[in-house]
Structure 1
Amino acid sequence: MNHTQLLRQCAVALALSALGAVAQAKTPDDQLIVGFSMNNLLSLDPAAATGNDVVEIAANLYDYLIELDPQATSKMLPGLAESWKVSADGRSISFVLRKGVKFQSGNALTADDAAWSLQRVLKLNLAMASPWKSYGFSAQNVDKAIRATDANTLVIDLPEATDPKMVLYTLATSVSAVILDRKKVMENEKNGDQGAAWLTTHAAGSGPFALADWRAKDALLMNRYDGYWRGPAKLKRVIMRHMTESQSLRLMLERGDLDVASGMSVPDVESMKKNADAVVQPVRRGTLYYVAVSMKDPKFADKRVRLAIRNLIDYDGINTTVMPNYGIPQQRPVQMGLPASLPNPGYKLDVVAAKKLLADAGFPNGFRTSIRVLADPPFINIATNLQATLAKAGIEASVLSGTGNQVYGAMRDRSFEIIVGRGGGGVEPHPHSSLRALVYNPDNSDAAKLTNFQGWRTSFFSPELNQLIEKAEVERDEAKQTADYQEAQKLYDSQVGAIQPISQMVDTVVLRKDVRNYLGHPSATTRLREVYKQR
Structure 2
Amino acid sequence: MKYDSLLRSARAFGLAGAFMAWAAVLSGPAFAQTPPNQLVVGFSMTNVLTLDPHAITGRETVQVLANVYDGLVALDPVERSQARPNLAESWDIAEDGMSITFHLREGALFASGNPVTSDDVVWSLKRLMALNMAQSSFLKTHGFTAENAEASFSAPDERTVVVTLPRPVDPQIIVATLGIVGPGSVLDRALVEENASGNDLGSAWLALNSAGSGAYTMQDWRSNERVILTANENYWGEAPLMQRIIWRHIPESQSQRLMLERGDLDIAFQLSPADLSALEANDEVRVESVPSTGFYYLAVSMKDERFAKAQVREALRHLIDYEGLNAAILPYFGRTHQRPINSGFLGLLPDPGYAFDPKKAKGLLAEAGYPDGFSVTLRAVADEPFLNLATAIQSSLAQGGIRASVVTGSGDQVYGAMRERNFELVVGRGGGGQNPHPDSNLRALLYNPDNSDEAQLTNFQGWRTSFYDEELNRMIDEAVVETDPERQVDLYAAIQNRLEEVVPSIQPFSEVITSVAARADITGLVVNPSWSTDLGRVGKER
- 2:184 equivalent in structure 1: 177
1:14 to 11, 16, 26: 16
2:477 to 463, 470, 476: 470
1:158 Cα shift?
0.3
- 2:424 equivalent in structure 1: 417
1:139 to 130, 139, 146: 146
- 2:104 equivalent in structure 1: 97
Decide which moves more: 332-341 or 524-533: 332-341
Where in structure 2 are the equivalents of 1:453-532 lying within 5 Å? 453-532=460-539
Decide which moves more: 366-375 or 521-530: 366-375
1:54-90 per-position Cα deviation (integer Å, ceiling 9, x unaligned): 2221110111111122222223211000111000011
Counterpart amino acid of residue 104 in structure 1: A
- 2:196 equivalent in structure 1: 189
Counterpart amino acid of residue 440 in structure 1: Y
Distance in 2, matches of 1:241 and 1:80, equals 29
- 1:4 equivalent in structure 2: none
Distance in 2, matches of 1:496 and 1:444, equals 17
1:297-336 per-position Cα deviation (integer Å, ceiling 9, x unaligned): 2222222221122221111211221121111111001112
- 2:327 equivalent in structure 1: 320
- 2:4 equivalent in structure 1: none
**Structure 2 CA distance for partners of 1:169 and 1:297, relative to 1, 3 Å:** same
Decide which moves more: 112-121 or 295-304: 295-304
Identity %: 47
Counterpart amino acid of residue 315 in structure 1: Y
1:362 Cα shift?
3.0
1:412 Cα shift?
2.0
Distance in 1, matches of 2:205 and 2:342, equals 37
1:232 Cα shift?
2.4
Distance in 2, matches of 1:29 and 1:327, equals 34
Does structure 2 retain, via aligned residues, the 8 Å contact 1:387–1:396?
yes
1:443 to 437, 447, 450: 450
1:28-58 per-position Cα deviation (integer Å, ceiling 9, x unaligned): 0000010112222222222221122222211
1:350-382 per-position Cα deviation (integer Å, ceiling 9, x unaligned): 212222222333333322222222222222221
| TM-score normalised by the chain length of structure 1 | 0.94
Runs of 5+ unmatched residues, structure 1: 1-8
- 1:161 equivalent in structure 2: 168
- 1:5 equivalent in structure 2: none
Decide which moves more: 266-275 or 351-360: 351-360
Does structure 2 retain, via aligned residues, the 8 Å contact 1:166–1:428?
yes
Counterpart amino acid of residue 394 in structure 1: G
1:219-254 per-position Cα deviation (integer Å, ceiling 9, x unaligned): 111011111011421101001111121111111111
Distance in 2, matches of 1:49 and 1:177, equals 12
1:401 Cα shift?
2.2
Counterpart amino acid of residue 248 in structure 1: S
Does structure 2 retain, via aligned residues, the 8 Å contact 1:335–1:426?
no
Distance in 1, matches of 2:152 and 2:345, equals 30
**Structure 2 CA distance for partners of 1:10 and 1:454, relative to 1, 3 Å:** closer
- 2:248 equivalent in structure 1: 241
Counterpart amino acid of residue 107 in structure 2: G
Q: Give me the CA root mean square deviation.
A: 1.9
Matched, 1:110 2:117: yes
- 1:366 equivalent in structure 2: 373
Does structure 1 retain, via aligned residues, the 8 Å contact 2:69–2:181?
no
Distance in 2, matches of 1:398 and 1:40, equals 31
| TM-score normalised by the chain length of structure 2 | 0.93
Distance in 2, matches of 1:449 and 1:189, equals 36
1:156-185 per-position Cα deviation (integer Å, ceiling 9, x unaligned): 000010000111111112422110111222
Distance in 1, matches of 2:61 and 2:212, equals 14
Does structure 1 retain, via aligned residues, the 8 Å contact 2:377–2:405?
yes
Decide which moves more: 450-459 or 519-528: 450-459
Distance in 1, matches of 2:258 and 2:121, equals 43
**Structure 2 CA distance for partners of 1:332 and 1:10, relative to 1, 3 Å:** closer
Where in structure 2 are the equivalents of 1:261-280 lying within 5 Å? 261-280=268-287
Distance in 2, matches of 1:359 and 1:10, equals 63
Distance in 2, matches of 1:57 and 1:239, equals 10
SS at match of 2:299: strand
Counterpart amino acid of residue 158 in structure 1: L
**Structure 2 CA distance for partners of 1:282 and 1:121, relative to 1, 3 Å:** same
Distance in 2, matches of 1:41 and 1:16, equals 24
Distance in 2, matches of 1:429 and 1:231, equals 26
Decide which moves more: 412-421 or 457-466: 412-421
Matched, 1:254 2:256: no
Distance in 2, matches of 1:446 and 1:485, equals 29
Where in structure 2 are the equivalents of 1:25-174 lying within 5 Å? 25-174=32-181
Distance in 1, matches of 2:415 and 2:245, equals 33
**Structure 2 CA distance for partners of 1:415 and 1:142, relative to 1, 3 Å:** same
1:200 Cα shift?
2.0
Distance in 2, matches of 1:147 and 1:468, equals 32
1:18 Cα shift?
6.4
Does structure 2 retain, via aligned residues, the 8 Å contact 1:319–1:503?
yes
Matched, 1:379 2:386: yes
Decide which moves more: 43-52 or 20-29: 20-29
**Structure 2 CA distance for partners of 1:428 and 1:325, relative to 1, 3 Å:** same
Does structure 1 retain, via aligned residues, the 8 Å contact 2:319–2:397?
yes
Count of aligned positions = 527
- 1:298 equivalent in structure 2: 305
Counterpart amino acid of residue 491 in structure 1: R
**Structure 2 CA distance for partners of 1:15 and 1:141, relative to 1, 3 Å:** farther
